[in-house]
Amino acid sequence: MTKLRITQIKSGIGAKEPQKKTLKALGFRRLNQSVTHSDSRSIRGMIEKVKHLVRVEEADDEAG
Protein backbone atom coordinates (compact mmCIF):
# COMPACT_ATOMS: atom_id res chain seq x y z
CA MET A 1 0.00 0.00 0.00
CA THR A 2 1.22 3.48 -0.81
CA LYS A 3 2.33 5.70 2.06
CA LEU A 4 2.03 9.47 2.08
CA ARG A 5 4.42 11.80 3.88
CA ILE A 6 2.53 14.93 4.89
CA THR A 7 4.42 17.98 6.13
CA GLN A 8 2.81 21.01 7.74
CA ILE A 9 4.29 24.06 6.01
CA LYS A 10 2.01 26.83 7.31
CA SER A 11 0.60 27.59 10.73
CA GLY A 12 -2.98 26.80 11.59
CA ILE A 13 -3.31 29.86 13.85
CA GLY A 14 -5.48 31.87 11.43
CA ALA A 15 -7.36 28.83 10.17
CA LYS A 16 -10.97 28.01 10.95
CA GLU A 17 -11.71 25.60 13.78
CA PRO A 18 -12.56 22.57 11.55
CA GLN A 19 -9.20 22.98 9.79
CA LYS A 20 -7.36 23.15 13.13
CA LYS A 21 -9.10 19.95 14.21
CA THR A 22 -8.16 18.28 10.92
CA LEU A 23 -4.48 19.15 11.46
CA LYS A 24 -4.67 17.66 14.94
CA ALA A 25 -6.43 14.54 13.62
CA LEU A 26 -3.65 14.07 11.07
CA GLY A 27 -1.18 14.08 13.96
CA PHE A 28 0.46 17.48 13.65
CA ARG A 29 1.73 19.23 16.76
CA ARG A 30 4.15 21.80 15.33
CA LEU A 31 5.18 23.56 12.17
CA ASN A 32 7.46 21.69 9.73
CA GLN A 33 6.54 18.36 11.32
CA SER A 34 6.08 15.39 8.99
CA VAL A 35 3.70 12.50 9.53
CA THR A 36 3.23 9.33 7.48
CA HIS A 37 -0.16 7.83 6.70
CA SER A 38 -1.42 5.08 4.41
CA ASP A 39 -3.05 6.40 1.28
CA SER A 40 -6.81 6.14 1.77
CA ARG A 41 -9.91 8.07 0.83
CA SER A 42 -10.36 9.41 4.35
CA ILE A 43 -6.79 10.70 4.57
CA ARG A 44 -7.09 12.24 1.09
CA GLY A 45 -10.27 14.03 2.21
CA MET A 46 -8.52 15.40 5.28
CA ILE A 47 -5.60 16.58 3.15
CA GLU A 48 -8.04 18.32 0.79
CA LYS A 49 -9.46 20.36 3.70
CA VAL A 50 -6.01 21.68 4.68
CA LYS A 51 -4.18 21.57 1.34
CA HIS A 52 -3.08 25.19 1.73
CA LEU A 53 -1.29 24.33 5.01
CA VAL A 54 0.47 21.07 4.08
CA ARG A 55 2.78 19.51 1.47
CA VAL A 56 2.15 15.91 0.38
CA GLU A 57 4.62 13.47 -1.18
CA GLU A 58 4.90 9.72 -1.55
CA ALA A 59 6.99 8.13 1.17
CA ASP A 60 9.44 5.29 0.64
CA ASP A 61 8.03 1.95 1.79
CA GLU A 62 11.22 1.20 3.73
CA ALA A 63 10.99 4.43 5.75
CA GLY A 64 7.44 3.77 6.98
Query: Is 36 a domain residue?
Result: yes
Write the CATH number for 42.
Answer: 3.30.1390.20
Report the number of distinct structural domains present in the chain. 1
pLDDT of residue 61: 67
Query: Is 52 a domain residue?
Result: yes
Query: Is 51 a domain residue?
Result: yes
Query: Is 63 a domain residue?
Result: no
pLDDT of residue 64: 47
pLDDT of residue 60: 80
Query: Is 64 a domain residue?
Result: no
CA quadruple 52, 9, 27, 42: dihedral sign: positive
Query: Is 44 a domain residue?
Result: yes
User: Per-residue pLDDT tens for 14-47?
Assistant: 999 999 999 999 999 999 999 999 999 999 999 9
pTM (2 decimals)?
A: 0.89
pLDDT of residue 8: 98
Q: How far apart are the C-alpha atoms of 27 and 25, rounded to whole Å?
A: 5
What domain range includes position 7? 3-58
pLDDT of residue 40: 96
pLDDT of residue 14: 94
What does the buried/exposed string (b/e) look like for 20-29 if buried means 16 or more CB atoms within 10 Å of the residue's CB?
Answer: bebbeebebe
